[in-house]
């Protein structure tokens, strides 16, 4: 059997690629670099180097397999994989076909993945070999016969991308800026994920903003140490792809500061994005000051950073610019940014709107609040998502008044710099991951020893915040333990969502109507 790397290229591919290379989409960037910088390093992963010419060949090959499995323009392809070079291959292959990539958090439970299958209705599911069982279990729960394709060697129950082959490579599909490129799921306060539909134009504008803000050129090397299914890492990569820079992809395993710094030094990493908890670990590494690093630009976001940490980052990585990236999946990562030039003078601020965005700070009636007062930040611009996938009600609510409502409470100073105050949504950000209290409460409430439960976040030096379950036991003499609750939730929710502390109470602080006053509960905890 031939492999996907041993095939012919259809005669019409060259002409189609030439035409597509004149546009401004991720595939057009790849095509230009493959022809103009064929030997330039595109990717590095665990010692394996992929040039831009090789990346294009792998994308073509993967696109051919997906096409033979029935993927065509507008179809969805779920990608369930940790960080690896094939994550990039597959993503670009889906876009090459004019289809829609659906990157999924590989730490979700089978039931959670099954819901996404039901909502996205993919034509194909592509999984990392070690996640094949998760994909098959999710599909079995869903009750359909969608092909599940492993990125690795064939195992029972699935196909293998490495062993499949098609007769030729299909021609790439030209896509416009308003055409759908990806569905990236983000949980809501109801606990049901919502699929933010991001267009080719969203990704193009985000990549160009990143390249400009970071001053990236083809001599740069990005370290991707955050999960590629996250919007921040995904867009950081695109910001380097657009100019033909290289990317060092770190495997998805427990964050090891020594390993990260070793890789930075060995690979000559110049740019990276990390969440504050990860920057803290790097600053704490005993030998960080002895390193010969080329790092010139460091970005943080996805969770709050203390002023003390930001000052320490500047001292530890002297000479490297530091910038805040503030936004969300629905804004294709950053809508607001604090440039490196303002980092020292504006510690604590997340910055001002970046190119292509307009913002307002409004009250519940959509009236602008006064300078210095707290309101919700709402957005318009080239980075704002198209809609929520198959959720007209949520879309209408999000775009009430013609602006996208972020759910973030901020205040703005006289020079336009923004400072995050709180979140409207009941959400905990732990190590850069969103944990929604309602989702966790819904599961814990089913525990036989739990009568009532409220979940709140508590500040944590390492993770930023951690989820704390405050329970009223069904039997006061036999309250549940933290281990019992975590074991009960395991398999129903991703492990990072499980409570890290449990507090037993006989009642909660309540309003006059009996509603739990979570603000008071947070203050007590």
Quote the CA–CA distance of 7 and 23 in Å, as a whole number: 27
The lowest-confidence range among 10-14, 119-123, 226-230, 359-363 is: 10-14
pLDDT for res 352: 94
**Domain annotation covers residue 2:** no
Q: Check pLDDT > 50 for residue 4.
A: no
Q: 210, 228, 240: which is closest to 382 by C-alpha?
A: 210
Contact indicator for 379, 410 with CB cutoff of 8 Å: no
Q: Assess whether 397 and 510 both reside in one domain.
A: no
Higher pLDDT: 523 or 102? It is 102
150 beta partners? 127, 160
pLDDT confidence of 189, banded at 50, 70, 90? very low
Q: Pick from 386, 403, 423: which residue ends a domain?
A: 423
**Domain annotation covers residue 311:** yes
Q: In this structure, what CATH number is given to the domain that contains residue 34?
A: 3.40.50.12780
Contact indicator for 349, 411 with CB cutoff of 8 Å: no
Q: Assess whether 405 and 492 both reside in one domain.
A: no
pLDDT for res 515: 59
Q: Assess whether 229 and 369 both reside in one domain.
A: yes
**Domain annotation covers residue 486:** yes
pLDDT for res 167: 66
What is the pairing mode between strands 48-51 and 100-104? unpaired
pLDDT for res 190: 44
Q: Assess whether 318 and 405 both reside in one domain.
A: yes
Longest dimension (CA), the chain: 76
pLDDT for res 293: 96
Contact indicator for 221, 54 with CB cutoff of 8 Å: no
**What's the mean pLDDT in 400-429?**
86
pLDDT for res 415: 94
Structure tokens belonging to residue 151? 């990125």
pLDDT digits 0-9 by tens, 267-305:
999 999 998 878 988 999 999 999 999 999 999 987 667
360 beta partners? 378
Q: Assess whether 32 and 102 both reside in one domain.
A: yes
Q: 465, 451, 459, 519: which is closest to 497 by C-alpha?
A: 465
| Cα→Cα distances 38→20, 32, 46, 266, 369, Å | 17, 9, 21, 23, 53
**Domain annotation covers residue 165:** yes
Q: What is the pTM of this model?
A: 0.83
pLDDT confidence of 513, banded at 50, 70, 90? very low
Q: Pick from 401, 423, 445: which residue ends a domain?
A: 423
Q: Assess whether 374 and 264 both reside in one domain.
A: yes
What is the pairing mode between strands 221-224 and 8-9? unpaired
**Domain annotation covers residue 123:** yes
**Domain annotation covers residue 182:** no
Q: Assess whether 400 and 446 both reside in one domain.
A: no
Q: Assess whether 414 and 441 both reside in one domain.
A: no
Q: Assess whether 316 and 437 both reside in one domain.
A: no
pLDDT for res 229: 94
Q: Pick from 175, 190, 217: which residue ends a domain?
A: 175
pLDDT for res 191: 55
**Domain annotation covers residue 27:** yes
Burial class (CB in 10 A: 0-12, 13-18, 19+), 54: middle
Q: Assess whether 130 and 163 both reside in one domain.
A: yes
Higher pLDDT: 142 or 374? It is 374
How many domains is the chain partitioned into structurally?
3
How does DSSP classify residue 516? Answer: B
Quote the CA–CA distance of 60 and 9 in Å, as a whole number: 8
pLDDT for res 507: 86
Q: Check pLDDT > 90 for residue 344.
A: no
Q: In this structure, what CATH number is given to the domain that contains residue 444?
A: 3.30.300.30
**Domain annotation covers residue 195:** no
Q: Assess whether 153 and 277 both reside in one domain.
A: no
Domain hosting 71: range is: 8-40+50-175
Q: Assess whether 231 and 366 both reside in one domain.
A: yes
pLDDT for res 523: 84
Q: 202, 276, 231: which is closest to 26 by C-alpha?
A: 202
Q: Check pLDDT > 90 for residue 451.
A: no
Q: 51, 60, 66: which is closest to 20 by C-alpha?
A: 60
């Amino acid at each position: 059997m031939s492999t996907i790397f041993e095939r012919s290229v259809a005669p019409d591919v060259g002409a189609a690629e030439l035409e597509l290379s004149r546009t401004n989409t991720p595939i057009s960037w790849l095509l230009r670099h493959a022809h103009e910088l064929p030997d330039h390093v595109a990717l590095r992963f665990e010692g394996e180097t992929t040039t831009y010419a090789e990346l294009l060949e792998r994308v073509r090959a993967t696109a051919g397999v997906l096409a033979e499995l029935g993927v065509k323009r507008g179809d969805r392809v779920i990608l369930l994989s940790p960080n690896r070079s094939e994550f990039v291959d597959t993503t670009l292959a889906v876009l090459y076909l004019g289809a829609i990539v659906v990157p999924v958090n590989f730490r979700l439970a089978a039931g959670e993945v099954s819901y996404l299958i039901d909502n996205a209705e993919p034509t194909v599911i592509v999984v990392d070999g070690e996640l094949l069982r998760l994909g098959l279990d999710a599909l079995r729960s869903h009750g359909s016969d969608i092909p599940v394709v492993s990125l690795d060697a064939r195992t029972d129950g699935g196909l293998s991308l490495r062993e499949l082959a098609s007769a030729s490579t299909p021609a790439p599909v030209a896509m416009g800026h308003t055409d759908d490129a990806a569905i990236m799921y983000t949980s809501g306060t109801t606990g049901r994920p919502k699929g933010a539909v991001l267009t080719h134009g969203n990704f193009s504008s985000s990549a160009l903003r990143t390249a400009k803000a970071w001053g990236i050129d083809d001599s740069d090397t990005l370290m991707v140490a955050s999960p590629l299914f996250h919007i921040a890492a995904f867009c950081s990569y695109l910001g380097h792809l657009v100019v033909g820079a290289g990317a060092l992809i770190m495997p998805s395993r427990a964050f090891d500061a020594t390993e990260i710094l070793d890789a930075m030094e060995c690979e000559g990493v110049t740019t990276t994005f990390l969440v504050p908890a990860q920057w803290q670990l790097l600053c704490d590494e005993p030998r960080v000051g002895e390193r010969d690093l080329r790092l010139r630009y460091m970005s943080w976001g996805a969770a709050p950073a203390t002023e003390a940490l930001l000052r320490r980052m500047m001292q530890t990585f002297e000479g490297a610019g530091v910038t805040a990236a503030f936004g969300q999946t629905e804004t294709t990562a950053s809508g607001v940014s604090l440039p490196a030039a303002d980092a020292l003078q504006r510690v604590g601020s997340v910055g001002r709107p970046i190119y292509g965005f307009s913002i307002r700070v409004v009250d519940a009636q959509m009236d602008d609040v006064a300078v210095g007062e707290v309101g919700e930040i709402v957005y318009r611009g080239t980075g704002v998502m198209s809609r929520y996938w198959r959720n007209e009600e949520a879309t209408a609510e999000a775009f009430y008044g013609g602006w996208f409502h972020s759910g973030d409470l901020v205040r703005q100073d006289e020079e336009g710099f923004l400072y995050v105050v709180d979140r409207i949504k009941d959400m905990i950000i732990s190590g850069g991951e969103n944990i929604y209290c309602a989702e966790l409460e819904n599961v814990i409430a089913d525990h036989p020893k739990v009568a009532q439960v409220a979940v709140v976040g508590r500040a944590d030096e390492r993770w930023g915040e951690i989820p704390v379950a405050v329970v009223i036991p069904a039997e006061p003499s036999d309250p549940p333990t933290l281990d019992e609750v975590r074991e009960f939730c395991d398999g129903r929710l991703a492990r990072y969502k499980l409570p890290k502390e449990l507090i037993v109470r006989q009642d909660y602080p309540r309003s006059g109507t009996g509603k739990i006053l979570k603000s008071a509960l947070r203050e007590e905890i």
